[in-house]
Amino acid sequence: MSDDLLFMPATTAAALIRARKLSPVEYTEAVLRAMHQAQPALNCFAEIIDHDAHNAARDAEAAVMDGRPLGPLHGVPIHIKDLLNVAGVPTRHGSAIFAEAAPAAADDLLVARLRAAGAIIVAKTATPEFGVKGLTDGPGFGITRNPWNLGRTPGGSSGGCAAAVAAGLAPIGLGTDGAGSIRGPAACCGLVGLKPTLGAVPNEAGRDAFGSNIYAGPLSRTIADAALMHSVLQGPDQNDPWSIGTNHPATLSPALLGHDLAALRIGYIPRCANPRVAADVTANTSASLAAWAAIGAEIEELTDPIDWIEYEGRVLYQSSFAVFGAQYLPHWQNQMDPVTLAFMQRGATFSMADYRNAEYARTGLFRAIQALFRRYDVLVMPTMTRTALDVGHDAANDDIIIDGIPCGITRQGWTSPQYPFNLTGHPALAVPSGFGDDGLPTSIQIVGKWGAETDILRLGALLEHAQPWAQHRPARRG
């Protein structure tokens, strides 16, 4: 089996399939074999969907040979995070509660859109219970590991997806992001991860459609693959009020049209709510900023005092879990993830006044970021404050240690640059910035104006050209 085939971008694979130079059947079979071989080491799949994938690949090949119209992802294997329904496959939500769940009766809207574009669904990827934390492990399935170092986490909650893509087990995967759950795993695994604008990609399954902070988007090895998947996913749906009437066009700001960024203003935010950033992450962030500056971008470090509402964000996040999860406590408490239980217990202590004040604070944060976009075209910051944590890290209680100094739990000390943009709704893109002193990936985050996915993807592509990353591959597992 050729590693070049496994690490081939989706855009390249789709072009070869259209030209009848790559068989969807042979491609899918190669990916499935590699998935089975790597699964014992990585534990990144909730289920590998062999039978349906083989049938879909045969149908895809017949469509090519018959000269039928082909979608942009025709014949390309992809996987879906196990919080979204795939018809005929159980949705287990990373939880022992749903270990014996019946197969889903229908595809989630986004899965249906991917199938309509020709994608072949090959697996459901692992997630922590209900996507609650920034590591991917749980009593229901064990520990998902980072292909760059099996002793480290791939992040969470789209950690199974990130581990699989980084290991060459399908070129793209669909993740979800409630407080950084696409961008964190992308950072841990050296990938591209896009959290779109609120409403750009509909959230059919969301329990709180109006107060949503949950997004769906791609994890990939290249900017072009992320852009391709996003183009398939976006567009309105009647069940998501934020998406109705919003069909963000793929326009590009004039400042980003060429390779001269002289008209582009970048606001650099060294820290958000986090007290520290590791020296290697800071060095790689500076190198990325220098790459943009070398082609003309104006970069200004922000000194504005911004309230990143870490406490209020936690009120919104944990109290929602407390209410949603209460139904499971009488029968399932002893089989639930201790981190889920800890977050629920903390969330239950917040009052109605705490919750309403947190909602007001969310509006205040949105307006503060909007004010920054009157001065800057994009905002840039480290995606994570350090490289991937050890797999045994306790997300509810253990401090993040940076340069030997405790910096609070994960959302305070590690993922602080991520959750604010779930609350404000702005699009955010994580892209690789290099490798840390421990040999694990580091990442930089690009945040854009509402609807400006094309801008942040273009800026990411210019960095990808200046300091390429997709040629780096972890050791094969299995």
Which one-letter amino acid corresponds to residue 50?
A: D
Q: Are strands 378-382 and 142-143 parallel, antiparallel or unpaired?
A: unpaired
Q: Which two tokens stand for residue 306?
A: 């911004």
Instruction: Point out the residues that are catalytic.
Output: 81, 157, 181
Residue 218 has φ and ψ, to the nearest 5°, of -85, 150
CB atoms within 10 A of CB 75: 28
Place of tokens 């050296």: 190
Place of tokens 């669909």: 174
Residue 332 has φ and ψ, to the nearest 5°, of -120, 0
- Residue ranges with strand state E in 291-400: 298-301, 378-382
Q: Give CA–CA dist 246/242, Å, rounded.
A: 7
- Please say whether the beta carbons of 64 and 24 come within 8 A: yes
Q: Which two tokens stand for residue 53?
A: 């994938």
The secondary element (H helix, E strand) that includes residue 370 is helix 352-372
User: Any bridge partners for residue 215, and if so which?
Assistant: 177
Q: Which two tokens stand for residue 62?
A: 């017949």
Angle (CA) 219-225-228 rounded to 5° is 110
Q: Give CA–CA dist 213/423, Å, rounded.
A: 6
Place of tokens 């602080």: 416
N-term to C-term CA, the chain: 13
Q: Which two tokens stand for residue 344?
A: 């629920």
139-175 CB burial, b ≥16 within 10 A, e <16? bbbebbbbbbbeebbbbbbbbbbbbbbbbbbbbbbbb
Helices 24-42 and 10-18 pack at an angle, to 10 degrees, of 150
- Please say whether the beta carbons of 370 and 170 come within 8 A: no
Which one-letter amino acid corresponds to residue 478?
A: G
DSSP character at residue 209 = S
Q: Which two tokens stand for residue 171?
A: 């070129």
- Please say whether the beta carbons of 147 and 192 come within 8 A: no
Residue 91 has φ and ψ, to the nearest 5°, of -105, 110
Place of tokens 């492990």: 137
